[in-house]
Copies of this chain bind each other. A is one copy, B any other.
Amino acid sequence: MLLFLSISFLAQSQSRMKISLTDPLPSWNESASKKAIIEFVSKTTKEGSPEFIPVADRIATFDNDGTLWSEQPMYFQLAFAMDQIKAMAPNYPEWKTTQPFKAVLENDVKTLVASGVDGLLEVLAVTHTGMTTEAFEKTVKEWMATATHPVSKKHYNEMIYQPMLELLKFLRDNGYKTFIVSGGGIDFMRPWIEEAYGIPPYQVVGSSGKMKYEVVNGKPVIKKIAELTFNNDDDGKPIGIHQFIGKRPVFAAGNSDGDYQMLEWTTSATGYPRFGMFVHHTDAEREYAYDRTSHIGKLDKGLNDAAKNNWTIVDMKNDWATIYPAGK
């Protein structure tokens, strides 16, 4: 009995020492944002504290594009769609003269964007629907393993943020469940997200389209249909959180006004302490610098209202010692 007690005590002491000696966020510079994060996790996980949150309610939600990985010069899912159009083009000679495909084939992003929502939906319809979920998953995996970013020349899944990986792990190590809540498509994200972030597919909330279940030659398949049924952005984020997660988060991280409502929904709730944060893209040298006037990841209202809502602004340039994982 005494033996077991001593071993148990030893293990506990070691565990305590480990916590105090190891920095859980080594890629974060000592900054107000790092301090705020650590204080939040510390106070909400301390048994007996009035700000303690039971494990079952430790729900943390993260936007993906611009929050967990880069999103410039265009959303990576759009880069995927453009690459698919190019790969399919030999079978569609008419695309050489038909918009928005012509713009894609000529890498003319400006004209593509000018084609508006309808043009983008046309590109998404051709590249994201008409096939089975299995075939689409295979295409995404192949693209992720081979395609590279036009500027960094890295694979896209190497452009994830090391400081955010540490934050995800820090939260999980403290009993938090981490969820993705992204405007990106669920079928585009799930094939690579588990490996990249350690987040299983059933903790990925995203946009999705209509699907059809069919039995073809005795084999059941799910086909992707060209009709967007849920757009998980802006107002859609709290709704997606309600429908998929069913609990109000206590921690939410985003980087753009598309995440405003997610942060609002999270931090206006009562009963527990809540944490809202925006990753502010301020690093033109190591990543990108953009906010109020950007076409992608516009952050304007969020910056205006951060102080009054007590939301933490993470200054990428000053708060992050590294951007991407080492050796990648």
Given A219-B268, A265-B220 in contact, is the A202-B246 Cβ separation under 8 Å?
Answer: yes
Report Cα–Cα, A177/B202, bound state, in Å.
Answer: 10
Chain B nearest Cβ from A133, distance in angstroms: 6
A residues 214-244 in Cβ contact with B at 8 Å: 215, 218-220, 222, 229, 235-236, 238-239, 242-244
Q: How many identical chains are in the complex?
A: 2
B-side contacts of A235, CB under 8 Å: 212-213
* Cβ B202 vs Cβ A242 within 8 A: no
Q: Does A287 contact B (CB under 8 A)?
A: no
Residues of B within 8 A of A112 (CB): none
Residue in B56, B190, B211, B218 whose CB lies within 8 Å of A246: B190
Known: A220-B261, A220-B268, A268-B219. A202 touches B244 (CB 8 A): yes
Docked CA distance A229–B179 (Å): 23
CB atoms of B7 and A242 under 8 A apart: no
Kindly list chain B residues whose C-beta atoms are within 8 Å of the C-beta of A213: 235-236, 238-239, 261, 265
Is A200 an interface residue when CB atoms closer than 8 A count as contact? yes
0/1 interface trace, chain A 132-144, chain B, CB 8 Å (1 if under): 0100000000000
Given contacts A213-B235, A229-B229, A264-B215, contact A222 B242 (CB under 8 A): yes
Report Cα–Cα, A179/B201, bound state, in Å.
13
Per-position binary interface string of chain A over residues 182-212, scored 1 when its CB falls under 8 Å from any chain B CB and 0 otherwise: 0000100010001000001111100010011
CA distance A215 to B177 in the complex (A): 27
Closest Cβ neighbor of A222 among chain B residues: B242
A289 to B200 Cα, complex, angstroms: 40
Most buried by B among A201, A222, A246: A246
Q: Is A245 an interface residue (CB 8 A)?
A: yes
* Minimum CB distance partner of A234 in chain B: B213
Complex formed: what's the CA distance from A264 to B243 in Å? 25
Chain B minimum-CB-distance residue to A246: B201
Partner of A238, one of B200, B220, B268: B220
Q: Does A247 contact B (CB under 8 A)?
A: yes
Look across to chain B and name the residue whose beta carbon is closest to the beta carbon of A133: B242
| Interface contact B202-A203, CB-CB below 8 Å | yes
Q: Could you say which residues of chain B place their CB within 8 Å of the CB of A264? A: 215, 220
Q: Are A242 and B211 in contact (CB under 8 A)?
A: yes
With A200-B56, A202-B203, A229-B229: A222-B246 Cβ-Cβ less than 8 Å: no
Q: What residue of chain B has the Cβ atom nearest to residue A270's Cβ?
A: B219
Cβ contact within 8 Å between B243 and A204? no
Taken together as a complex, chains A and B put the C-alpha atoms of A161 and B59 apart, in Å, by: 30
- CB neighbors of B among A64-123 (8 A): none
16 contacts between A and B (CB under 8 A): A7-B7, A56-B194, A56-B200, A59-B202, A133-B242, A186-B243, A202-B203, A202-B244, A208-B243, A211-B243, A212-B239, A213-B239, A220-B261, A220-B268, A229-B229, A244-B244
Distance, CA A41 to CA B242, complexed state (A): 33
- Bound CA span A91–B201, Å: 46
Report the 6 A-B pairs with minimum CB-CB distance, sorted nearest first.
A201-B246, A213-B235, A202-B245, A211-B239, A190-B246, A213-B238
